[in-house]
Amino acid sequence: AVLCCLGPMLIFEDIYIIILIDAFLGLIAGTGLAKIFVTEKKDWSYDAYILLNIVMLILVKDAGMLFAVFVFVTYILDNIFYRKAGIKRNGLWSVLALMALLVPKKLWEYNIKINNANVAFSNPIDLQELFRVLLGIEKTNYRVEVLENFFDGFFTRCFEISVFQIKIPYIILFVVLAVVCYVISRIYTNWNIEYAKKYRMVVALLGIETIIYVFGLCVTYMFKFSEYEAVRIASFERYMNIMLEGIVIFLLMLIVNYVSSNQKQKYMGLCILLIVLAILPWGMIKDIGTRATVANTVNTRIRYIPIVEQIEKIAVKTGERYNINVISQESAGYDAFVLRYSLRPHTIVGSEIRGQPF
């Protein structure tokens, strides 16, 4: 429980004050994969947890579908090769897992349709144009620049450990995590050969997932984002940190499982605990404890109150629902998101940001 509460702050230090769901997505994905590996007594509660994990990943965000698929595949392979529960039982839960993967997705799409809701990043991916860009046939489209900028960002943009003000390029960070995965593999091999076999399977799937996620994120920028955002690789660090957080949570849970099962390794566990405590953003934790973040949130929303009240007065007089355009001056990009919620049942049909770009 402590790991799940504090672990995400290693990657998203502002997880408890931002309105974005990305940090929660990485946490659910990492705990789902780790649960399959570390759980020894796999009864109905374990199966129910995995099914709910898959459902949650799908409902949290569109990108969660990829993570849900990999949790599902890992669960199925574990049932086939390592779980000794009988063909009928494993088959039943595997079918239910498939339903947990497909049914919520369809229900969510139906919910969006009947409510006529706006769908973000709804542009289709043109596979023919994608291959033309990848093969170098297309040279003038802005998506060529997006492809170059994305992989340039992957090698040059950095993850920052704010406590020490250290910046590490994402490519280096993923290489370091790959080395950590290998070290843990050697540890598990010396400890329990069955665990080691399963671990190698899970890590192999995690590596495949990482590659697909990074390439898929690049394709998303190329086709789903507006040209302005895509060329600038907007929010690159935030999206990359989702995958990073999932891997870190997965590895931390494996280390906790190993240390808790081997009393002789208590010093190893203590060292890792001290490292994690040193990296945690204690300034942010202090602000949360003193409720400074709550006061900041209240102050941030105050400026929207007059807008909402004015529109409500007009709506009461006319008895109508309105389609509203939002124009923001030097905005961080959140005005439309906040007003979309606060002005319900009216609809935000468009937003424009002028001044400092986000």
Which range, of 8-12, 35-39, 93-97, 207-211, averages the lowest pLDDT?
8-12
What is the rounded distance in angstroms from the CA atom of residue 254 to the CA atom of residue 151?
Answer: 30
Residue that wins the pLDDT comparison between 190 and 135 = 135
**Which of 28, 132, 36 has its CA nearest to residue 81?**
36
pLDDT at res. 306: 82
Q: If pLDDT is split at 50, 70 and 90, which confidence band does 330 have?
A: low
At 222-238, the pLDDT tens digits run 988 888 888 888 889 88
Q: Has residue 220 got a pLDDT over 70?
A: yes
| Residue whose tokens read 């949570």 | 249
Residue that wins the pLDDT comparison between 243 and 269 = 243
Contact 91, 76 (CB under 8 A): no
At 146-179, the pLDDT tens digits run 999 999 999 999 888 776 778 889 999 899 888 8
Q: Has residue 256 got a pLDDT over 90?
A: no
User: How many CB atoms within 10 Å of residue 35?
Assistant: 19
Average pLDDT estimate for 106-121:
72
Q: Has residue 114 got a pLDDT over 80?
A: no
Residue that wins the pLDDT comparison between 196 and 34 = 34
* Preceding peptide of 169 cis, ω within 30°: no
At 1-45, the pLDDT tens digits run 777 777 777 787 777 776 678 888 888 999 998 888 888 888 889
What is the rounded distance in angstroms from the CA atom of residue 269 to the CA atom of residue 255?
Answer: 8
DSSP string, 166-229: EEEEHHHHHHHHHHHHHHHHHHHHHH-HHHHHHHHHHHHHHHHHHHHHHHHHHHHHHHTS-HHH
At 122-146, the pLDDT tens digits run 677 888 888 888 888 887 788 899 9
Burial of 72 per CB tally in 10 Å (0-12, 13-18, 19+)? buried
| Residue whose tokens read 């291959």 | 131
Residue that wins the pLDDT comparison between 245 and 262 = 245
At 53-64, the pLDDT tens digits run 999 999 888 888
Burial of 354 per CB tally in 10 Å (0-12, 13-18, 19+)? exposed
Q: What does residue 327 show for φ and ψ, rounded to 5 degrees?
A: -115, 120
pLDDT at res. 358: 45
Average pLDDT estimate for 196-223:
85
Mean pLDDT score of the chain, rounded to an integer? 80
| H-type alpha helices, the chain | 2-6, 22-38, 44-60, 64-81, 87-114, 127-134, 142-156, 170-191, 193-223, 227-231, 236-261, 266-279, 282-289, 292-302, 305-318, 335-342
pLDDT at res. 228: 83
**Which of 310, 355, 332, 305 has its CA nearest to residue 324?**
310
Burial of 257 per CB tally in 10 Å (0-12, 13-18, 19+)? middle
Residues above pLDDT 70, as percent of the chain: 86
Average pLDDT estimate for 242-257:
86
pLDDT at res. 351: 63
Residue that wins the pLDDT comparison between 277 and 306 = 306
Contact 31, 53 (CB under 8 A): yes
The reported pTM is 0.77
Token pair for 320: 């109508």
pLDDT at res. 140: 78
SS3 82: coil
DSSP string, 53-68: HHHHHHHH-TTHHHHH
Residue that wins the pLDDT comparison between 297 and 219 = 219
Which range, of 6-15, 300-309, 329-338, averages the lowest pLDDT?
329-338
pLDDT at res. 55: 93
What is the rounded distance in angstroms from the CA atom of residue 81 to the CA atom of residue 347?
Answer: 51
pLDDT at res. 264: 67
- CA angle, 278 then 32 then 101, to 5°: 145
The amino acid occupying position 18 is: I
